[in-house]
Structure 1
Amino acid sequence: MFVNKCNCKENRLLSDGRTVCKCSANTQKMATDSFKVPAVPVSRPLQNNTKVINEAKDSSACIKPESSNKKDDKKKSWSVTDFDLGRPLGKGKFGNVYLAREKESHYVVALKVLFKSQILDSEIEHQVRREVEIQCRLRHPNILRMYGYFHDEKRIYLILEYAKHGALYKLLKERGRFDEKTAAIYIRDLTKALIYCHTKKVIHRDIKPENLLIGHNWELKIADFGWSVHSPSSRRMTLCGTLDYLSPEMIDGKPHSYAVDIWSLGVLCYELLVGLPPFDAKDTHQTYRKIRYVIIKYPEFVSEKAKDLMGKLLVINPEQRLPLAHVLQHPWILENAPEGAQPTVYTAEQQS
């Protein structure tokens, strides 16, 4: 049974005009009279210096300053006037991301500005809340940090780590495809981040190049948790993600678990090496068919060890997919991405 297209505004437009629904029929509609976000932080995470960021402990308010006076806490709530705004870093359906600098510490961040009205109109309030609640608690070198958040009457502001080199998607399009060493390093680092997420009972559910950023030292960082879920039970039913990355159990409407991220890791590995996702087709039905029966064609330049890894990740039965811990021990990873290996530095000047 194929997944029907709906009018959800969170569809990803693909290169051939196809879209994929990112909502589910049983998603509860949100009230449109007000927008609620998790409790506003009373602390100023960037108040003193970068040491605060590196040493901060997990808390519902993200990061707390090194020292805090209870009498001053209420005065230290964030507002947009605490930041100098710079150039736009990206634009989305529900707002924009700006380069920004906190005035007191001069710490550079990315400020994601979302419009409440657009979020309410699209009925994705639950996703925004979930994104904030999950990402704010994650601490891993390959996951983009959320330092804090606040909101006013019309907007929500997310204070995010600044990833200097932008989206992996853009870098991949510039290069066409990555060499095996670079691809293996990014797969290695993403695997580490997913292992961490799963230990925290978080399923990401939307791994793709657009949701991965490249940091100052060309390190990979998971950046978007809009479709992630904290799932101690590990069994979910919601259809979400991007068409080319959907797992067989998702398109068949079956319960899914952490194994959907393992499937997406295999799809990403193929796309990094080839430049296109493995199940790309002329129309949606062909893509579904390829996914359902794992119909893949490997170009000649893809090594046997890389094929072996992808073959063990892209398995129909979720329980038979290679565990993430074993991915790090796979010969292709050990050969091309030993511990400490860094991606080849890539700049526009190297193209000329």
Structure 2
Amino acid sequence: IIKNRYEFNTLADVIGSGSFGEVYKAIDKLTGETVVIKAVYLGRPNIPMDKLEQEASLLESLIHPCIARGLEHFMMNDLRGQKAMVFIMAYYANGDLQQYYSTKYSKLTDIPFEIRKKWMIQLLQGVEFMHSQQYTHRDLKIENAFLDENLDLVLGDFGVARKNVGTVLGTIAGTPQTMAPEVATSKPQSYPCDIWSLGIIWYQLLFGHPPFNAATPYLLVNQMLNREFVKPIKGSGHQDLEFLIDKMLQIEPKDRPTAKQLLEKFKTYIDNNYQETNTSQAQIKNQLLQKQLSPKEQTLKQMKERLCAQTEMQAQEIDQLVGVVIDQLLKPMDQISVQNPKTGLAMEENEMNEFLMQKKLAVKWSQLRQIALFELYG
């Protein structure tokens, strides 16, 4: 079925894979449209059939410009006889928002404010439509927002969404960093939990970082319940947005506005936003290109992020240590006080590894040197 209608290469066109199956970029031969094929193998462990059906039905029934499009889904057996559920979905050229900004920019706030403001509104419009259809998403985060070739944003990943008809949910679902207090504490929950998560994303888009940064879920919940923000909701220069974010991040669900109220209250702001954005597209594009990282800078950023993940160290610590290594690499040979420079370099490496161990740092000199060499000579 797939090969008859959709053209793709199982090796060259893979854009994602995991324990669930594979994701491919493909061409629909009937329409010429670029699509995404997601094959989920049902024989693999922890594959929830009911959630797959639900997500597929939602993506195909929630038709809105700010919600990811599901085109069709069906069951089939592959050449090895494995049974799979296949999703055909619209293709979003710039991937998810987290991937987009983390690979192309040093920080989220390098992206022009007009673009970030547009994303805030498109997120709100998607949530409002979803709520009007009596669904709660329950896992709103920037990784579940996708960008097309024009940098327009859509909501996706409805794996834990629920229908809200005469029932009140009380289960834990979602991501700790964007999870509403009532969800984290297993209290009754409904549409307001999405408003909290939306407020988290808006805060992140406005200030460039999440509002809470505790290292463990327990401490994170304490931060949320005490409203201990990394940075107070002020000082951005956009008081109207700060006011709304503060209302969205109220502890009591009943104190948060609905998505419809947010849209109605802010309709003039939304209209002005689109007018501003549409009349300055060339200027915004130039700003994006100026602040976008070069290919070398993107690679360097990825190398440092991988090392941070491997060592659980902060990016600032890695930067400082890489700076030390660069100083060592640029040291004149006559300052290495041995007859054999190679022996001297080995001695210095041993000394630095001992220093790192004494400081109880999980990084090795060779890892830092690899980044330093790329930064110098790339």
Alignment of 1:58-77 (within 5 A): none
> Is contact 1:165-1:218 (8 Å) kept?
yes
Partner of 1:128: 52
Deviations 1:98-138 (A, max 9, x none): 111122332221111111122xx215222112101211101
Q: CA deviation at 1:227?
A: 1.1
Q: CA deviation at 1:95?
A: 2.1
Higher helix share: 2
Equivalent position to 1:146, from 61, 66, 70: 70
Query: Structure 1 pair 335/134, CA: closer, same or farther in 2 (3 Å)?
Result: closer
Q: CA deviation at 1:279?
A: 1.5
Deviations 1:280-315 (A, max 9, x none): 112222111011222213267523333222101001
Partner of 1:100: 26
Residue 95 of structure 2 is aligned to residue 166 of structure 1: yes
Normalised to the residue count of structure 2, the TM-score between the two structures is 0.66
> Is contact 2:35-2:88 (8 Å) kept?
yes
Deviations 1:59-101 (A, max 9, x none): xxxxxxxxxxxxxxxxxxx544321115222334412221111
Deviations 1:253-302 (A, max 9, x none): 11100111101110001122333321111222211101122221326752
Normalised to the residue count of structure 1, the TM-score between the two structures is 0.71
Tell me how many residue pairs correspond in the alignment. 273
Give me the whole-angstrom Cα distance separating, in 1, the residues matched to 2:261 and 2:29.
Answer: 45
Residue 231 of structure 2 is aligned to residue 298 of structure 1: yes
Give me the whole-angstrom Cα distance separating, in 1, the residues matched to 2:259 and 2:159.
Answer: 22
> Is contact 2:213-2:230 (8 Å) kept?
no
Give me the whole-angstrom Cα distance separating, in 2, the residues matched to 1:182 and 1:332.
Answer: 18
Residue 203 of structure 2 is aligned to residue 280 of structure 1: no
Give me the whole-angstrom Cα distance separating, in 2, the residues matched to 1:181 and 1:332.
Answer: 16
Partner of 1:84: 7
Partner of 1:56: none
Give me the whole-angstrom Cα distance separating, in 1, the residues matched to 2:251 and 2:204.
Answer: 19
Residue 108 of structure 2 is aligned to residue 177 of structure 1: yes
Query: Structure 1 pair 349/302, CA: closer, same or farther in 2 (3 Å)?
Result: closer
Alignment of 1:189-208 (within 5 A): 189-208=122-141
Give me the whole-angstrom Cα distance separating, in 2, the residues matched to 1:263 and 1:230.
Answer: 18
> Is contact 1:99-1:110 (8 Å) kept?
yes
Partner of 1:260: 193
Give me the whole-angstrom Cα distance separating, in 1, the residues matched to 2:130 and 2:24.
Answer: 27
Give me the whole-angstrom Cα distance separating, in 2, the residues matched to 1:161 and 1:347.
Answer: 26
Q: Secondary structure at the match of 1:241?
A: coil
Greater alpha carbon shift after TM alignment, 98-107 vs 294-303? 294-303
Give me the whole-angstrom Cα distance separating, in 1, the residues matched to 2:290 and 2:72.
Answer: 33
The amino acid across from 1:85 in the alignment is F
Alignment of 1:302-317 (within 5 A): 302-303=236-237, 304-317=239-252
Segments of structure 1 that go 5 or more residues without pairing to the other structure are: 1-77
> Is contact 1:263-1:313 (8 Å) kept?
yes
Query: Structure 1 pair 211/140, CA: closer, same or farther in 2 (3 Å)?
Result: same
Alignment of 1:206-285 (within 5 A): 206-233=139-166, 235-285=168-218
Deviations 1:152-208 (A, max 9, x none): 132221110111111111123233113433222111111111111111111111111
> Is contact 1:201-1:234 (8 Å) kept?
no
CA RMSD of aligned residues (A): 2.5
The amino acid across from 1:83 in the alignment is Y
The amino acid across from 2:150 in the alignment is N
Query: Structure 1 pair 148/331, CA: closer, same or farther in 2 (3 Å)?
Result: closer
> Is contact 2:96-2:142 (8 Å) kept?
yes
Greater alpha carbon shift after TM alignment, 338-347 vs 162-171? 338-347
User: Percent identical across equivalent pairs?
Assistant: 25
Determine which structure has greater relative contact order: mean sequence separation of CA pairs < 8 Å that are 6+ residues apart, divided by chain length.
Answer: 1
Give me the whole-angstrom Cα distance separating, in 1, the residues matched to 2:230 and 2:55.
Answer: 35
Deviations 1:22-76 (A, max 9, x none): xxxxxxxxxxxxxxxxxxxxxxxxxxxxxxxxxxxxxxxxxxxxxxxxxxxxxxx
